[in-house]
Amino acid sequence: MAPHSIEDFDQSRLGQMAGILERDIGRKGLRPGDPYLTATEASQMLGVSRMTANRALNLLARRQLLTRHRSRGTFVGPDAPRVAANDSAQQDMKYVHYLTFVDDNPAHQLPVGKMLTGFQAAIDGVMLRTHVLPLNMTPQQFRSELDAIISAGQTAGVVVTLGTREIQQIASECQAPVVIHGSAHPGINLPSLEVDQEQTGRLMAEHAIALGYQRLVFVAREFWRRGDSLALDGIQQAAAAAGISNSGVMVRNVSTDAKALRVGVEEILRDMPRPAAFICRLPYFAGAIVEVAKGRGLKVFKDFGVVYDHTSEEGRPPLPYPCARSEVSVQDQMTLIAQMLTTVAAGGRPDPFRALVPAHVEIELPTP
């Protein structure tokens, strides 16, 4: 199977969900033999189908973190991590709580180690707790989650990412310091730090245009976010500056479900004007387009172009094609956010209040 294929990303997504369940077991302090979620309950928590949740539960069962009995249910397994209760050192710790939602980039994993190092560079001895929440969480459920975090004490600050406007509004009413990692919705009075999405879209489009493409296809997520709108604004700015009409910029939204994504990509390739460049919001989308296109006998840079957004991830780009990269590492972004939290905790206003991280396009030539 080719690296970075749709199937690879599907397995990565499954592993991510299994990780969410594993952390849930630890957070609840469950012990071997304790009952755990049914597939239906797990699907509701993860915001996925019952079949997908069942596969994630089975993955933990193969690792002995769960045991499953057809007639009795699902229980915590013998290899589940033990949580020490009432540890005095733990009680003295302060935590930054990083709240995100099940990301619709199946290949994306939170670089927790680098994040913690970044926070500790600005807040002595602080620890990090990540909370990966379901995409379909209601505002009421989010409020309950946030209330539980604050009532537990030991909170040095809260970071919210990938949230809707309602989620951000609830976070703004929190009694602890809060910073948004990503785009703040209009009217939300919380400090934020994000990669400059408008610049990212503009740079990717300018690169595609410089390669000679006069038709651009923006491939974005099924669940549209404010950052997607800003990226599209940048693409349209670059197109206008190059004399490309509105009809020369197309937008296509695709699902991150592996099977649905393949169908969506097939439709895009069937209908796309040629030659065209795909500006992909996720590396996952770029990988799917290249994989399906090659199966149809199409060649990258001969029959179509690809540029993708890699600003939210670290390490070597997963695909050997031009991509947008952040100029500030995740670790350093967390340090900046920690400084914002410290300022808010002291009653101040961070400057800048809306911090933008610049991006650049990195060119990786295809391997022979």
* pLDDT tens-digit map of 322-335: 999 999 999 999 99
> What's the pTM?
0.76
CATH match for 197-326 among 3.10.310.30, 3.40.50.2300, 1.10.150.120, 1.10.3720.10:
3.40.50.2300
Cα 232–chain centre separation: 18
Mean pLDDT of all residues in 154-167: 92
Mean pLDDT of all residues in 292-296: 92
pLDDT of 92: 62
Res. 18 pLDDT band, cuts 50 70 90: confident
* pLDDT greater at residue 160 or residue 101: 160
pLDDT at residue 7 greater than cutoff 90: no
Mean pLDDT of all residues in 73-77: 90
Mean pLDDT of all residues in 116-126: 93
d(CA 39, CA 50): 6
Among all chains, which residue has been given the structure tokens 């400090």? Answer: 191
pLDDT at residue 106 greater than cutoff 90: no
> Hey, CA dihedral for 96, 100, 102, 104, is it positive or negative?
negative
Closest of 181, 167, 50 to residue 111, by C-alpha: 181
* pLDDT greater at residue 298 or residue 103: 298
Q: Where are the beta strands (DSSP E) in 116-226?
A: 127-133, 155-160, 178-181, 192-195, 216-221
Lowest mean pLDDT among 11-15, 34-38, 328-332: 11-15
Q: Which residues pair with 308 in a beta bridge?
A: 280, 323
Does residue 46 sit in helix, strand or coil? helix
pLDDT of 32: 87
* pLDDT greater at residue 101 or residue 341: 341
d(CA 149, CA 107): 28
pLDDT of 171: 96
pLDDT of 43: 80
Same fold, 93-194+329-357 and 197-326: yes
Contact of 40 with 50, CB cutoff 8 Å: yes
pLDDT tens digits, one per residue of 195-218? 999 999 999 999 999 999 999 999
Res. 74 pLDDT band, cuts 50 70 90: very high
Among all chains, which residue has been given the structure tokens 């602080």? Answer: 126
* pLDDT greater at residue 243 or residue 271: 243
pLDDT of 363: 85
Mean pLDDT of all residues in 268-284: 89
Contact of 132 with 23, CB cutoff 8 Å: yes
pLDDT at residue 58 greater than cutoff 60: yes
Among all chains, which residue has been given the structure tokens 């003295």? Answer: 92
CATH match for 93-194+329-357 among 3.40.50.11720, 3.40.50.2300, 3.90.110.10, 1.10.760.10:
3.40.50.2300
Closest of 226, 198, 210, 216 to residue 324, by C-alpha: 198
pLDDT tens digits, one per residue of 239-253? 999 999 988 999 999
Using a pLDDT cut of 70, give the percent of the chain over it.
89
The answer regarding whether domain 6-76 maps to CATH 3.30.365.10 reads no
Mean pLDDT of the chain: 87
Domain range annotation of the chain: 6-76, 93-194+329-357, 197-326
DSSP letter assigned to residue 106: T
Which tokens sit at 223?
């669940």
Provide φ and ψ at 226, rounded to 5°: -60, -40
Mean pLDDT of all residues in 144-150: 89
Cα 355–chain centre separation: 19
Which tokens sit at 159?
């970071």
